[in-house]
Homo-oligomer: A and B are copies of this chain.
């Protein structure tokens, strides 16, 4: 039996609904139209006292104040404290987080469910939007936390870790609300019976949560990859236990703290959102994932653990984003310079440490037609290398684009890449002007012969980090065949293609439709294959081995709750 539900003060929740309903409605419209929209400005200067938020300087100060302190969340079952984050830029964070006794914490989280369920979809959405609004106001503070756990450069951490992550959270709330509101709260049902009186029933429909939702965070995008699952589950009535990556605890601990504050203020049990930090090497995700209370899991990370979760956490709905191998098919272009610049940026952004970064560039052995004349395979590769070099020629600019190498594993892969084939562009170390201990490296491009059997095994494995392969293929048809095999066996978060030929375009498009991968065609301007925008782009497809879910669609929210019907004679 659950404890007696805490009653939310109706005034507070009504105020929250009044405050946030317009944004929710606008988000609902955006996911229907897929037009550009965001309520959270991405420009760093849009934040500051005059906007009711923390300025860059205030955000930095707030972040600094968290370092080396105990991050208390007042959670039940806290049985110790864990610390250990080291910034990819060098400094130790020194922040201590509560370690939880799951046997105490999980029942407390379950006990919080009935009142949260009774609050209904609209109040839950409003509470989630208040959490997001408060996080948004602290975007600069979060930016530092994301930067110093993921290694992202500040501007990227500010945008992708801030407003863009908040967008993805809001998008999930909108989907969750839409899904729960498809069925009315109540209905009258009158079935005619010929000459007899009709049968009359009154029916009530209540969305009910599945149980505790476990969020297993990742190192590179703790907020961006974490918010969709967190908010989708919370908005559908489930308590959320956040298990961050041991190297990227702070951004999610801050998120948990804001959520607990807002929940408590709105009259709900703060234990609806809790943190499960772990000691280094403790591996609590495996243990938590099998707890009977855990009925939903959101995971971003390695394929091996994702596969393990899907196979073993059978009591839960498991949403995974795993590894993939992203391909660019280069057939032809009418903007050679634009293509090279766009690709150079895609390979460099955050040192290729995005699940969406292209890895395999498939280029016909006989070269390609471009607006600058026919270019041989070697010319395309060396022109791309030059474009990357130029983009990253200035150290200050390079650092702002590359960020830092997130962990030693990535550095080792990068260093080993030169042995995989002929190096077309060597990686170089860049000195960080502010953080001399940061590992900053430019990308490596390695040439592979697409016909050689040894190439197949190289380009069919994910080589996460700033490593890409310029694969010489017989033809565009051969490129599309390799693309199909790659998606089918290894999965892909993104596919890109450059072509001026309607036939080649159709071939690539058909491959992506059949193998289920998201395709960007002929990007030559300021949109990059590795970026997706909430409310408009789907991140992943959920239909190939890279991920079993897409951000965000109906399938991402629909099975996080069930509808219980109570019917009685009218």
Residue positions of A touching B, CB distance < 8 A: 2, 31-36, 113-114, 117, 178-179, 182-184, 187-193, 199, 201, 203, 205-206, 208, 210, 310-311, 314, 509-510, 512-514, 516-527, 533, 536-538, 541-543, 550, 553-555, 558-559, 562-569
- For the complex, what is the distance from the CA of A395 to the CA of B181, rounded to whole Å? 48
Is the pair B526, A203 in contact by a Cβ cutoff of 8 Å? no
Is the pair A554, B182 in contact by a Cβ cutoff of 8 Å? yes
Is the pair A537, B558 in contact by a Cβ cutoff of 8 Å? no
- For the complex, what is the distance from the CA of A555 to the CA of B562, rounded to whole Å? 9
- Return chain B residues, CB-CB under 8 Å to A568: 520-523
Given the known interface contacts A189-B536, A550-B563, the answer about A314 and B314 at a Cβ–Cβ threshold of 8 Å is: no
Is the pair B514, A114 in contact by a Cβ cutoff of 8 Å? yes
Question: What are 29 A-B residue pairs whose CB atoms fall within 8 Å in the complex?
Answer: A33-B187, A34-B183, A117-B513, A178-B182, A179-B554, A187-B536, A201-B527, A208-B514, A516-B562, A516-B564, A517-B564, A518-B565, A519-B566, A519-B567, A520-B566, A520-B567, A521-B568, A524-B569, A537-B567, A541-B563, A543-B562, A550-B562, A550-B563, A553-B558, A554-B558, A555-B555, A555-B558, A558-B559, A559-B559
Sample of 11 more A-B contacts, CB < 8 Å, known A542-B559, A558-B559: A32-B182, A36-B190, A114-B510, A189-B533, A521-B567, A522-B568, A523-B569, A525-B569, A542-B562, A550-B562, A554-B558
| 8 Å CB contact of A513 from B187, B208, B314 | B208
Given the known interface contacts A203-B537, A513-B206, A537-B203, the answer about A563 and B567 at a Cβ–Cβ threshold of 8 Å is: no
Closest Cβ of chain B: how far from A560's Cβ, in Å? 9
Residue in chain B with minimal CB distance to A553: B563
Interface centre among A190, A201, A559, A564 (most CB of B within 10 A): A564
Closest Cβ of chain B: how far from A311's Cβ, in Å? 7
- Return chain B residues, CB-CB under 8 Å to A36: 189-192
- Return chain B residues, CB-CB under 8 Å to A536: 187, 189, 203
Is the pair B565, A537 in contact by a Cβ cutoff of 8 Å? yes
- Return chain B residues, CB-CB under 8 Å to A562: 516, 541-543, 550, 555
- For the complex, what is the distance from the CA of A137 to the CA of B36, rounded to whole Å? 48
- Return chain B residues, CB-CB under 8 Å to A520: 566-568
Is the pair B564, A513 in contact by a Cβ cutoff of 8 Å? yes
- For the complex, what is the distance from the CA of A189 to the CA of B34, rounded to whole Å? 7
Given the known interface contacts A523-B569, A564-B512, the answer about A553 and B310 at a Cβ–Cβ threshold of 8 Å is: no
- For the complex, what is the distance from the CA of A190 to the CA of B37, rounded to whole Å? 9
- Return chain B residues, CB-CB under 8 Å to A538: 205, 563, 565
| 8 Å CB contact of A205 from B34, B183, B558, B569 | B34
| 8 Å CB contact of A187 from B34, B525, B559 | B34
- Return chain B residues, CB-CB under 8 Å to A191: 36, 533
Closest Cβ of chain B: how far from A49's Cβ, in Å? 22
- Return chain B residues, CB-CB under 8 Å to A558: 553-555, 558-559
- For the complex, what is the distance from the CA of A514 to the CA of B543, rounded to whole Å? 32
- For the complex, what is the distance from the CA of A492 to the CA of B176, rounded to whole Å? 26
| 8 Å CB contact of A34 from B184, B553, B555 | B184
- Return chain B residues, CB-CB under 8 Å to A553: 182-183, 558, 563
Given the known interface contacts A520-B568, A558-B553, A567-B519, the answer about A184 and B537 at a Cβ–Cβ threshold of 8 Å is: no
- Return chain B residues, CB-CB under 8 Å to A537: 203, 565, 567
- For the complex, what is the distance from the CA of A563 to the CA of B555, rounded to whole Å? 10
